[in-house]
Amino acid sequence: MRLRDQRVQTVVLGAVGIALFLALWEAIGVNRLAGMTWPPFSTVMVFLFDPSRQGLFLRAMGASFAMAGMGYLLGTLIGMALAGLVQIVPVLRPGVDRLSSVVNAIPAIALAPLFIVLLDREYTGMAIATLNVFFVLYVATTSGLNNASATHRDLFSVLGASPTTRFFRLDLPAALPAIASGLKYAIPAAFIGAILGEWFGSSRGLGLLMVSAMQNFQIPLLWSAVFIASAASLLVFGLMGLIERFVYGRYK
Amino acid sequence: MAAVLEHPAAGAAETAADWAIHVDHVGKVFTLDDGQQLTAIESVDLRIGKGEFVALLGPSGCGKSTILRLVAALETASKGRVVVEGTDPLALSRAHRLGVAFQDHALLPWLTVRDNVALPYKVAGRKVDQERVRALLALVGLDTFENARPRQLSGGMRQRVSIARALVLKPDVLLLDEPFGALDAVTRRHMNVELQRIWSEQKITTLLVTHSVEEALFLADRVVVMSGRPGRVIKTIDVPFARPRSPDVQRTAEFHRLADELTLALEPEGGH
């Protein structure tokens, strides 16, 4: 009962927090406290849900989400595969660790021009998303694969486990909570990458919408695009949080 | 159940096959991170007969766990050698013929109780004998918990699962490293009674590492006392009580006399 009360309390407090945030947004907008460029929440919503703009937003969403999604998948695959590789061939570990840190230390915005030259500019967003997600998943997986306790390792040794058995029956399951956390934190990274990439001259997407709205001073359009990107990222982040909680409950 | 312990003259060659476990004048030196050398055990000669239950008793840091880890092939000897069932411990563990239970139950949290007990089959790449798993769960009194997860069990129950897991492949050698060390005194006594009952049904060659005098006396055929550091054997006692042993054994005068003797041997000055 107590746990349930706590959960109800968390949900209620969360809802109150969101309501307060939106009310503040509305109040600042209505009273022009932040000037002309801060529209009230209601104005943005009316603009966003106007049927005449549905096609525009859906096309932009489709393009951005596809780039974010593909970057997410690609980054996850590369990150986890490399983490698995350095687990099997440990000599590679320091090198790959350093390389991925270096790549991550370079701001994506500095690499974007390179991607535009190297790749189609339509895919720059996906490339940055891949890079961002790759790093998160590589770090999460490599650290997760070392999560098995010393006693568990000893147990598998005494039982005569082969390296493959040890990997699939111990190291991988023990890594799942860390991987689930990585998958969660990679969500915003994928969105950032995709939208940032679209700023650099993509012909579609929320990023393009943002840039053109900014340049043409279409304030409600700008806010709508930002709202869509934020809401989508938060929603998927929340869903991944649920999966993460399940994995923690099961594997930790 | 030979009471032989230190017979340096017995000759190493003939003994290999005669003993289930032969720790043959073994020393172990650890090199610490700062390059310092730490002698965990100096020269220990320990022979355990087939089907014998030997308890290694000693204060913490006396190297008794190191001996168990050498027999489990988790460490290699710096000098001397360890022979288990006539072969190298590593060969025995690779053949899935060792059973082990640690102080930390080491159950996998993502598996049910039944799957945890069945784990050695999976690791050995053998088909799980569900009958055997069920029988062992019944033996340790947890047949109604087969679908529970480790976190849902008490500390004592988890240790029982870990002992069932250690026994499931009918190992040649059972290694118990302070299996009840983390339990409260009451549960621990209860677990000793259980383990004694279970062991009396299987009679597997067993090496138990413990710092509890009563546990060693109640469970073992022979108690070997070690002192640290470096670790060496200072005393051996044959335990005269017949099996199966009832908990009443622990209230006899003989039990108390032996317990006093062992406790004295454990004192820093060797009791004299």
pLDDT attached to residue A1: 55
B109/A252 Cβ within 8 A:
yes
Q: Which residue in B106, B122, B124 is closest to A155 by CB distance? A: B106
Q: What does residue B84 show for φ and ψ, rounded to 5 degrees?
A: -125, 125
Q: With bands split at pLDDT 50, 70 and 90, how would you rate the model's confidence at B10? A: very low
Q: With bands split at pLDDT 50, 70 and 90, how would you rate the model's confidence at B269? A: low
pLDDT attached to residue B2: 44
- Could you tell me the two tokens for B206? 């067993």
- Over 50: is that where the pLDDT of B271 sits? no
- Over 50: is that where the pLDDT of B232 sits? yes
Measured between CA atoms, how close is B271 to chain A, in angstroms?
34
CB pairs under 8 A between A and B: 59
Preferred mutation among A158, A169, A179 to probe B, highest tally of B CBs within 10 A: A158
- Residue B23, SS3? strand
pLDDT attached to residue A252: 82
Q: CB B220: neighbour CB atoms within 10 A?
A: 25
B122/A154 Cβ within 8 A:
no
pLDDT attached to residue B17: 57
CA–CA separation, A109 and B76 (whole Å): 53
In this prediction, the residues of chain A whose per-residue pLDDT falls under 50 are none
CB A91, CB A150: distance < 8 Å: no
For A159, nearest residue in chain B (alpha carbons): B96
Least confident residue range of A134-148, B107-121, B190-204: B190-204
Preferred mutation among B123, B165, B169 to probe A, highest tally of A CBs within 10 A: B123
CA–CA separation, B144 and B80 (whole Å): 47
CA nearest neighbour of A226 among A198, A184, A185: A198
- Could you tell me the two tokens for A204? 């579609």
B93 interaction partners in chain A (CB closer than 8 Å): 157-160
Cβ under 8 Å to B: A residues 169-198: 169-170, 173, 176
Measured between CA atoms, how close is A89 to chain B, in angstroms?
22
CA–CA separation, B239 and B203 (whole Å): 16
CA–CA separation, A232 and A205 (whole Å): 14
CB B75, CB B27: distance < 8 Å: no
Residue A104 identity: N
Q: In chain B, what are the domain boundaries?
A: 21-97+174-183+199-264
Q: Which residue has the tokens 């099996």?
A: B243
Residue B79's beta-bridge partner residues?
B27
B123/A161 Cβ within 8 A:
yes
Q: Is the ipTM of this complex over 0.95?
A: no
Least confident residue range of B12-16, B180-184, B258-262, B267-271: B12-16
For B9-129, where are the E strands, in sequence order?
Answer: 21-31, 37-48, 53-57, 79-84, 98-101
What would the DSSP string read from start to end of B157-225? HHHHHHHHHHHTT--SEEEEESTTTTS-HHHHHHHHHHHHHHHHHH--EEEEEES-HHHHHHH-SEEEE
Residue B208 falls in which region: left (phi positive, over 0), alpha (psi -120 to 50) or beta: beta
B100 interaction partners in chain A (CB closer than 8 Å): 154-155, 158-159
CA–CA separation, B73 and A160 (whole Å): 10
CA nearest neighbour of B3 among B74, B60, B54, B79: B54
CB B244, CB B200: distance < 8 Å: yes
pLDDT attached to residue B270: 45
B94/A158 Cβ within 8 A:
no
Q: With bands split at pLDDT 50, 70 and 90, how would you rate the model's confidence at B115? A: very high
Measured between CA atoms, how close is B145 to chain A, in angstroms?
17
B120/A158 Cβ within 8 A:
no
Domains of chain A, earliest start first: 56-251 (1.10.3720.10)
Element (H, E) at B236: strand B232-238
Measured between CA atoms, how close is A161 to chain B, in angstroms?
5
List CB contacts of A132: < 8 A, sequence separation 6 or more. Answer: A71, A75, A108, A186, A189, A190, A192, A193
- Over 70: is that where the pLDDT of B11 sits? no
Q: What does residue A169 show for φ and ψ, rounded to 5 degrees?
A: -100, -15
- Residue B79, SS3? strand
Question: Which residue has better confidence, A2 or B260?
Answer: B260
Counting residues of chain B whose pLDDT is more than 70, the rounded percentage is: 92
Measured between CA atoms, how close is B272 to chain A, in angstroms?
38
List CB contacts of A104: < 8 A, sequence separation 6 or more. Answer: A131, A135
B109 interaction partners in chain A (CB closer than 8 Å): 251-252
- Over 60: is that where the pLDDT of B5 sits? no
CA–CA separation, B166 and A159 (whole Å): 9
CATH number, domain B21-97+174-183+199-264: 3.40.50.300
- Over 60: is that where the pLDDT of B7 sits? no
CA–CA separation, B134 and B157 (whole Å): 15
CA nearest neighbour of B5 among B256, B21, B14: B21
* pLDDT digit string, tens, across residues B13-61: 444 557 899 999 899 999 888 889 888 888 899 999 999 999 999 888 7
Q: CB A95: neighbour CB atoms within 10 A?
A: 10
Q: Taking all residues of chain B, what is their mean pLDDT, rounded to a whole number? A: 88
